[in-house]
Structure 1
Amino acid sequence: MAIYTKGGDKGKTSLFDGLRVEKDSIRVETYGTFDELNANISLADKFCKSEKNKKILQTVEYRMFYLQGEIATKDTEKFLKQSQFITDDDTRSLEKIIDDYTQALPPIHSFILPGSSTAGAQLHVCRTICRRAERSFVKLSKSIEFRPELERYVNRLSDFLYIMARSEDYEDLIDDVTEKVIKVYSKIEDGRKDE
């Protein structure tokens, strides 16, 4: 079975509820940017050193499908009847992670470079894509009313990605310091054996 339908050959695409719209519409731009974000979150989770962070990001990846699906539907009620959707529990989950990680990480008092580790750098890429998606979402919200639960979730995502980036950078730093300490200790032990 072919993956192409030819339905979009004239510059239109179908929304979740079957409505045909122009491919360059702000709605398509918005859910398309969140799709780009989700692909980048998937890449980030492959770079993560922390298994806990990988699992957290994978959970968010699934939530992104619900987010995109709702944005890609004109008839919100139809979507809510046929799919899982973002709730305030999802937002509270992000907030708990943000709060817990902020508490656990060393405080910072200035701007930081976007990532000292591969995972951290990729998560900062995610954060910037998320900001772009959020700008499109806000623009779209001027003509289309979305559920407040969806708006709150979108508003927390970039803060979540920022703290995840900091967490991965810290994990990388701890691993680096640990490796250096082990090397120094090994040299000391080797020196003792030679005595």
Structure 2
Amino acid sequence: MAKSKVYTRSGDKGQTGLVGGSRISKGSDLIDLYGEVDELNSHLGVATTLINDKALLEDLHTIQVKLFDLGSNLACEVEKRLQFKLPQLSKQDVDWLEQKIDKLDTELEPLKYFVLPGGSQACAVLHVCRTVCRRVERKMVAHLAVEDTPESSREYINRLSDYFFVLSRYINKVEGKAEIYWVPKKD
């Protein structure tokens, strides 16, 4: 069996192929959007190397799979997503994130101030995930003006950034790191 090559040369002129076979500019908003989803997944991969809790790692792996599912849908023509039977995000996925947020949040003190990113290394990387997730959300909303995004994707991404925020606080607590608060100086 011949091994396929990683490079195809088909993108050398600035075009890339969607799942259904259409060619599109690598500079398009759609390519930018699913590239951001891929970047978020990569940052999340870094976070997984810094967390030792097996249950949390399973949750983060589940999220990575869901992000890959979302990226595959964005990389496919809208009219062909069902034809290719791509895994879809669902309301149950959003509900699952909400349950995880609520469970983690019960372990935390109520916030009185804004939290600055920092504390443990894992916490800092989770804040990067949170901010990249917000960027994905902004680009997704902008893309919605052009074409519909996969079902439940906006809700999922919105909850996911909240999850990263709460998880970052939880990780700092578990690791015994103090949260860093933004407290405005009064003159």
TM-score (norm 1): 0.84
Q: Return closer, same or farther for 1:79/1:15 CA change in 2, 3 Å cut-off.
A: farther
Question: Structure 2 residue aligned with 1:55, among 43, 53, 58?
Answer: 58
Larger radius of gyration between Structure 1 and Structure 2: 1
CA distance in structure 2 between the aligned counterparts of 1:83 and 1:148, rounded to whole angstroms: 12
Aligned residues: 174
CA distance in structure 1 between the aligned counterparts of 2:153 and 2:83, rounded to whole angstroms: 12
Q: Look up the equivalent residue of 2:111 and give its one-letter code.
A: I
Instruction: Render the CA deviation track for 1:40-97: whole Å, top value 9, x for unaligned.
Output: 1011011013222111111100111111111111234534642211111111000001
CA distance in structure 2 between the aligned counterparts of 1:76 and 1:90, rounded to whole angstroms: 23
Maintained 8 Å contact 1:86/1:150: yes
Maintained 8 Å contact 1:53/1:164: no
Sequence identity (%): 33
Are positions 1:13 and 2:26 aligned together? Answer: no
Corresponding residue number in structure 2 for 1:98? 101
Corresponding residue number in structure 2 for 1:129? 132
Instruction: Render the CA deviation track for 1:110-158: whole Å, top value 9, x for unaligned.
Output: 0112131111000001111111111111110111012441221122111
Matched residue of 1:29: which SS? Answer: helix
Maintained 8 Å contact 1:30/1:133: yes
CA distance in structure 1 between the aligned counterparts of 2:88 and 2:118, rounded to whole angstroms: 31
Maintained 8 Å contact 1:50/1:171: no
Q: Return closer, same or farther for 1:125/1:162 CA change in 2, 3 Å cut-off.
A: same
Higher normalized helix content (fraction of residues): 1
Instruction: Render the CA deviation track for 1:150-194: whole Å, top value 9, x for unaligned.
Output: 2211221111111111111111117xxxxxxxxxxxxxxxxxxxx
Are positions 1:75 and 2:78 aligned together? Answer: yes
CA distance in structure 2 between the aligned counterparts of 1:164 and 1:17, rounded to whole angstroms: 37
Deviates more, 1:80-89 or 1:149-158: 80-89
Corresponding residue number in structure 2 for 1:111? 114
Deviates more, 1:77-86 or 1:8-17: 77-86
Corresponding residue number in structure 2 for 1:25? 28
Question: Structure 2 residue aligned with 1:65, among 64, 68, 78?
Answer: 68
RMSD: 1.5
Q: CA deviation at 1:10?
A: 0.3
Structure 2 gap segments, 5+ residues each? 178-187
Corresponding residue number in structure 2 for 1:180? none
Matched residue of 1:47: which SS? Answer: coil
Corresponding residue number in structure 2 for 1:182? none
Matched residue of 1:5: which SS? Answer: coil
Q: Return closer, same or farther for 1:104/1:76 CA change in 2, 3 Å cut-off.
A: farther
Structure 1 gap segments, 5+ residues each? 175-195
Matched residue of 1:153: which SS? Answer: helix
Matched residue of 2:132: which SS? Answer: helix
Corresponding residue number in structure 2 for 1:177? none
